[in-house]
């Protein structure tokens, strides 16, 4: 890879910035509550992974995906096409709303089914664990 033409001590700069941020956060007028709200709101959009066996998380994903977004993208790299898309969107919105409501309801019902199955499996697993203990105790006797 190419070498940098004009090296400058950026590591020191990063340290200075980190210290400046800390000092600003320690100042009496620092808007701590507002910044905490910003951090929390952004953190909710970070990457997550769904473990293969995590039914509840999968059901939550399903529920989120089932919410059909009617804000159809109308931007375009091709001049003029954006206008056509906006017109079509206005003409079709009543139709899309009707379909979207049904798809969303179906998705929510499916997600609810998933959560119910997950609850039932949890109960069964607890019951099996209890039975295993009892069998083990009986075998011990």
Does 49 interact with another protein (rule: CB under 8 A)? yes
Does 26 interact with another protein (rule: CB under 8 A)? no
Closest distance to another protein from the beta carbon of 99 (Å)? 16
Does 35 interact with another protein (rule: CB under 8 A)? yes
Q: What angle do CA 93, 96, 98 make, to 5 degrees?
A: 115
Structure tokens at 115: 């959560």
**Of 63, 59, 58, 60, which is closest to residue 107 (Cα–Cα)?**
63
C-alpha distances in Å from residue 91, one per residue of 24, 96, 104: 52, 10, 21
Site for another protein in 61-120 (CB under 8 A): 61, 64-65, 69, 71, 73-79
**Residues making contact with another protein (CB under 8 A):** 1-8, 10, 13-14, 16-18, 20-21, 24-25, 30-31, 34-35, 37-39, 41-42, 45-50, 61, 64-65, 69, 71, 73-79
């Amino acid at each position: 890879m190419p070498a940098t033409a004009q090296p400058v001590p950026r590591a020191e700069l990063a340290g200075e910035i980190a210290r400046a941020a800390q000092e600003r956060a320690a100042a009496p007028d620092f808007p701590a509550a507002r910044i905490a709200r910003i951090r929390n709101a952004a953190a909710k959009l970070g990457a997550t992974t769904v473990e293969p066996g995590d039914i509840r998380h999968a059901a939550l994903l399903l529920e989120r995906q089932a919410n059909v977004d009617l804000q159809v993208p109308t931007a375009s790299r091709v001049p003029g096409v954006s206008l056509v898309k906006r017109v079509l969107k206005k003409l079709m919105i009543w139709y899309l709303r009707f379909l979207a409501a049904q798809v969303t309801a179906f998705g929510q019902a499916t997600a609810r089914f998933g959560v119910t199955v997950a609850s039932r499996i949890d109960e069964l697993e607890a019951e099996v664990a209890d039975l295993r203990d009892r069998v083990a105790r009986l075998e011990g006797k």
